[in-house]
Chains A and B, each alone.
Chain A
Amino acid sequence: MTLSRLTLIAALSATAPCFAAETLRPLNFANDIVPILTKGGCNSGGCHGKSGGQNGFKLSLLGFEPQEDYDHIVMEARGRRVFPASAEQSLLLTKGTAQLPHGGGKKLDPNSEDYADLARWIREGMPYGKDSDPKMASISVEPAKLTLPLKAVQQLKVTAHYTDGSTRDVTKRALYEANEKAMAETSEAGRVQLFDLPGDVAVMVRYQGKVSTFRATVPLGAPVEKLPASRGFVDDLVFAKLKTIGMPPSDIADDGTFIRRVTLDITGRLPTAAEMKDFMASKDAAKRSVLIDRLLDSPEYAEYFANKWSALLRNQRTQPNFARGSYLFYSWIRDSIADNKPYDQFVREVVSASGDLDQNPPVAWYRQVKEMKQQMEDVAQLFLGTRMQCAQCHHHPFEKWSQQDYYGFAAFFSNVSRKPSTFAGEEMIFNKRGVAQTTNIRTKEAVTPTSLGGTALNLKPEQDPRRALAEWMSQKDNAFFAHTLVNRYWKHFFNRGLVEPEDDMRETNPPVNPELLSALAADFVKNGYDLKKLIRTITNSTTYQLSAVPNTYNAKDRQNFSRYYPKRLNAEVLYDSVNTLLDVQTSFAGQAPGTRAVALPDNSYNQSTYFLSVFGRPDSSSACECERTQEASLAQSLHLLNAAEIQTQLSRGNGRADTLTKDTRPDDDKISDLYHIALSRDPNAAEVTFARSHLDKKTAGKAGDEASKGKKEAYEDILWALLNTKEFLFNH
């Protein structure tokens, strides 16, 4: 102990000049001490910050509640945590520096400024600070926005601003996190190291419940001399960005690629060979727009997007007797999309749904989303791109949201009530008359419905607060509602949101092209929340029609939309596409023969169809698109390469291979047919040669039935190979 105290004194005197000015300033617990605990990770969710604390010592998560922390440190454990008479013997310091055994290891360096401040605070009798002491009002980061070269290093400076106008440099005690970890990494000291990926990256800076953001634009700096023709504001804004960062876009995709891409993206199916041939042959200059219109008017568009929304709206069949409800809800979603119901109306009908299933199917949403808090969290995440979950128990670490905001927003659902429906196991939903309010669990005070960032509403007892919520969401200047939807749809087509993840829109996670997001949202609002119009705007853009093939400069681009980003066909689409290629009529229990997997009403088919579950069809258990697994796995590969189901369909009588064997046309024509169906293009000469030589090999020296058998097997092999190509598995 003597030794360590000597070390400490030496350390203090060595660094004394730094503190000379500060020793005059009395320490304030919230302003000076808590940030040390936060930076050291002491109050993180894995340690003392978790509810219940760690080994009897509890701190509020990330120090959001200094008064509670003060009590825990100073009042508990019979005062052993802090010991003013001999500060260095305080448990807070001996544990933190791991001089005494500490489950969390060494978190504090005895030679650090943090240690010195803690020791001084204890020596001075653990002052909490006075009510009149300044409080922190905000933080700022310098620089806030900068253009930097690839691989550059930038030191940030973070300043805390206090209510008395004073400021303090808190760079060393702030926390840093980059939103694109492939582009940049941050050090604990606020140093940003860029990698060699061009684009935009944001670093979230957090300090004691306040957040700020540093944004870097990292140009590639290649010459952008010729750009393809712009077809509207989408292209203007994407190309402007590409010019800024110096990244030339890829060429425009050819017709075959385009018809496959847009048909898959809008209707979730492959184009037929006939559709493809007609499209290729058409000389109409506007044929791409005409195609988009035709696809949007097809029932398959409604089915495909109903499939998307049905999962997000949690249309689950968890019990057999929910079938009626899940069918009704699915049909309602599909019909709403087919009718192109304005999006604000669609959302209003879900959020404020009342009554019985058969009169008002969207009440089924309330069946799966049972609790007030869940309802609020789903609405915030799904329709407003805001994740409120964290603020239920503590201040949101990445955002401005407090528990007051959380419960104020939840109060919109405080009067939702249920009574038994005429359908067994189902419930009717209604709004109970009365003043809508709930309790903030921290303050224990009543909170009335309050929109995000708004003021508390005074609703009359007979008003349904959910209508007021829908009203607020669809106000033209709502900063969340339209942005969230256009971002979600953008991601559907580009495989990457302007904000990523698409339902985590916050100041500290800025869009890669803010102007484009705003313009899309404004256009969407102006057009009366017209979803088809939005899809037209997106798919008619040159940006959407760019090739996926990179040029010299943009191979690594993942966020500037300088080319199309390929995506693996999702579970349902892939299942349907394999069946199309193998000429199989699907059959699902309780569905008409030939019903596409894309048109299934609910999640219950995932259990019965291994293909769908192994390729990640979501179970509709959350409001997040991320529930759909798009990762590759060994089980998927094994299934596609070797599933008995697929082998059987390949070799079945009257299956595709059998039909082709009996077909008397030349093999070259039949090989072309397969390429048209699977890949929407003609095979090239080499591919024809490979296929033909395989056919020859399997029939060589054989005649009659033996030759037919060999030929059929050869076609089975060709089909097998085609359906396992990346070109088939991906939309590109």
Chain B
Amino acid sequence: MLNLYSHPSGGYCDGVSRRNFLKIGGLAMGGLSLNDVLRAETAQSTGKSHKAVIMIFLPGGPSHQDMFDMKPDAPSEIRGEFKPISTNVPGIQICEHLPRLAKMMDKCTLIRSLADCDSRHDAFQCLTGRNSKQQPPGGWPSLGSIVSRLQGGTNPAMPPFVGLAPKMGHMEWARTGEPGFLGVAHAPFQPNRGGGTEDMSLRGITLDRLRDRKSLLSSFDNLRRDLDSTGLMGGVDVFNEQALNVLTSPKLLHALDLSREDPRVIERYGKGENRNRDDGGPRLPEHFLAARRLVEAGARVVTLAFSRWDYHSDNFGQLREDLPLLDSGLTALIADLHERGMDQDVSVVVWGEFGRTPMINAKGGRDHWPRVASALLACGGMRHGQVIGATDKQAGEPTERPVAFGEVFATLYKQMGIDVTKATLTDLTGRPQYLVDGHLPMAELV
């Protein structure tokens, strides 16, 4: 049996620290079995970075036919105002307002046939891969919570799962990824929300005073740890230490503090505005950069929401404002991941909850269209420079290779080192639940 407490100190060949094992041991109370620990062990990357996912949610349902699935031959009331441009992959064209992305298409995959959208204004499906109906008690856990549960943290000063979305007028868009039946221990860290994040920085307490308190605490905290053989008490110790690390040597805060970044890098991502777009999210490419910094600091899953895409009117005018910043932020992120040698380990996914109507309405907008949507994937050690699936002449129905959200999730789990045909999580009724609803990783990508 692997003894979680008696390994020699120092790192393992896979870069997991002893402290990390202690932490996993600390979670044993919640039912983490030896198998889970071994799985967490084997899922580590051996490269310079660890496996991770950055998920960029575009709230409101971006218009697929004006971005990734252009139909220049369709009548004007369908094809709209934008023109396609060629990309660096022969045969793939995208919107003229994504010129930088066009030069990087060999590093991306477009899925043009997401076919099982849940037709609700809700980030839920993009965060869980599941339909929101028919949930087990407690609800479906999101990808980040599942990864947190199965793999734990990578280092003592970083939570494994961070959600950057702030509160929004339409809160279903502001979801960062709920833990569902896995419980609050696997909720995302939400630095742009009230509640927990206020706890992250000292207010009114100096570092000196915190040091005094820490030393008092260690003088008083004498309860014998061997009273508890479940690992919970040790777990509290580990998290307390992690919390004090967050407060005193704030790796997490530094990751979020973009002023520590090279100004030229910041500039490459583009300058956004830190205020919500109506009831949607902020148009902040800075969050893309923060996501990369968080992953570098040790996060395994980072989610964020970018702008607001529910363009029932003035679709093209609004896209003209959104697309350039999406273009700069996304391409800077992809380039960054490549330049830092993280491209084989960090998967990026960009999508919204559904597509938009082929026909442009009287107000120059497009309405909800759950029959099909597009998604973009990048990095993560996947095969890129391709388009998966196709739609009809109007970009209205998938005609080739309909893709389910669950397939994309199965792919992401596989890239995280998790086998979706084997891994299960026990729900509150005792039923083992698979991570995706029967889907397999997409052969085109992995």
Contacts and interface: CB of A to CB of B under 8 A. Distances in A.
Contacts of A19: none
Given A629-B30, A632-B235, A638 B183 contact: no
A724 B217 contact: yes
A558 interface: yes
Interface stretch (A111-119, A279-287, A609-617): A609-617
B187 A624 contact: no
A549 interface: yes
Nearest to A55: B440
Contacts of A614: 184, 195-196
Given A642-B247, A643-B199, A632 B183 contact: no
Given A630-B232, A637-B239, A732 B223 contact: yes
A624 B136 CA distance: 12
A727 B428 contact: no
Interface in B187-201: 187, 189, 195-196, 198-200
A642 B207 CA distance: 12
A138 interface: no
Contact of B220 (A630, A639, A722): A722
Contact of A181 (B34, B137, B196): B34
B338 interface: no
B185 A610 contact: no
B216 A630 contact: no
B33 A638 contact: no
B212 A694 contact: yes
B346 to A, nearest CB: 22
Contacts of B428: 621-622, 624, 626-627
A519 B139 CA distance: 38
Contacts of B35: 181
Contacts of B219: 686-687, 690, 721
Contacts of B203: 644, 647
A725 B221 contact: yes
B204 interface: yes
Contacts of A631: 27, 29-30, 183, 185, 232, 235
A103 interface: yes
B26 interface: yes
Contact of A46 (B29, B217, B224, B422): B422
A634 to B, nearest CB: 5
B420 A635 contact: no
A594 interface: no
A348 to B, nearest CB: 24
Nearest to B443: A103
A558 B28 CA distance: 13
Given A722-B220, A725-B217, A558 B236 contact: no
Nearest to A713: B209
A84 interface: no
B1 interface: yes
B196 A566 contact: no
Contacts of A643: 198-199
A501 B31 CA distance: 10
Nearest to A616: B184
Contacts of A54: 438, 440
| Size band of the interface chain A makes with B | 35 or more
A390 interface: yes
B244 interface: yes
Q: Most chain-A CB neighbours within 10 Å: which of B224, B429, B438?
A: B429
A94 interface: no
A637 B242 contact: yes
Nearest to B182: A629
Given A195-B1, A726-B233, A732-B223, A694 B216 contact: yes
A610 B196 contact: yes
A732 B153 CA distance: 29
B168 interface: no
A651 B209 CA distance: 14
Given A630-B29, A634-B159, A550 B227 contact: yes
B246 interface: yes
Contacts of A185: 1, 34
A637 B236 contact: yes
A624 B242 CA distance: 31
Given A46-B422, A690-B216, A725-B220, A635 B189 contact: yes
A651 B204 CA distance: 10
Contacts of A195: 1
Contacts of A377: 429
A724 B240 contact: yes
A508 interface: no
A729 B431 CA distance: 31
Given A46-B422, A52-B438, A634 B246 contact: yes
B259 interface: no
A672 interface: no
Contact of B138 (A555, A627, A639, A729): A627
Nearest to A504: B430
Interface in B334-368: none
A641 B247 contact: yes
B71 to A, nearest CB: 32
A387 B426 CA distance: 13
Interface in B47-93: none
A491 to B, nearest CB: 13
A503 B426 CA distance: 14
Nearest to B153: A634
Contacts of B225: 726
A228 to B, nearest CB: 19
A454 interface: no
A389 interface: yes
A671 B10 CA distance: 41
Q: Most chain-B CB neighbours within 10 Å: which of A381, A566, A694?
A: A566
Contacts of A50: 434, 438
A557 interface: yes
B243 interface: yes
A717 interface: yes
Contacts of A558: 229-230
Nearest to B135: A621
A47 interface: yes
A725 B137 contact: no
Nearest to A501: B430
A121 interface: no
A45 interface: yes
A78 interface: no
Contact of B236 (A381, A642, A651, A729): A729
Nearest to A606: B184
B135 to A, nearest CB: 10
A377 B189 CA distance: 34
Given A629-B30, A641-B247, A390 B235 contact: no
Interface in A631-661: 631-639, 641-644, 647, 651
A722 to B, nearest CB: 6
Given A390-B431, A729-B236, A717 B138 contact: no
A509 to B, nearest CB: 10
A493 interface: no
B399 interface: no
A549 B223 CA distance: 10
B185 A633 contact: yes
Interface of B: 1, 26-27, 29-30, 33-35, 137-139, 153, 159, 181, 183-187, 189, 195-196, 198-200, 202-205, 209, 212-213, 216-217, 219-230, 232-233, 235-240, 242-244, 246-247, 420-422, 424, 428-432, 434, 438, 440
Interface of A: 44-47, 50-52, 54-55, 103-104, 181-182, 185, 195-196, 377, 381, 387, 389-390, 501, 503-504, 548-550, 555-558, 565-566, 568, 610, 613-616, 619, 621-622, 624, 626-627, 629-639, 641-644, 647, 651, 686-687, 690-691, 694, 697, 713, 717-718, 720-722, 724-727, 729-730, 732
Q: Which 10 A-B pairs have the closest CB atoms?
A: A622-B137, A629-B183, A637-B243, A631-B185, A632-B235, A46-B421, A631-B30, A638-B199, A721-B216, A637-B239
6 contacts: A387-B430, A548-B227, A632-B232, A647-B205, A720-B216, A727-B222
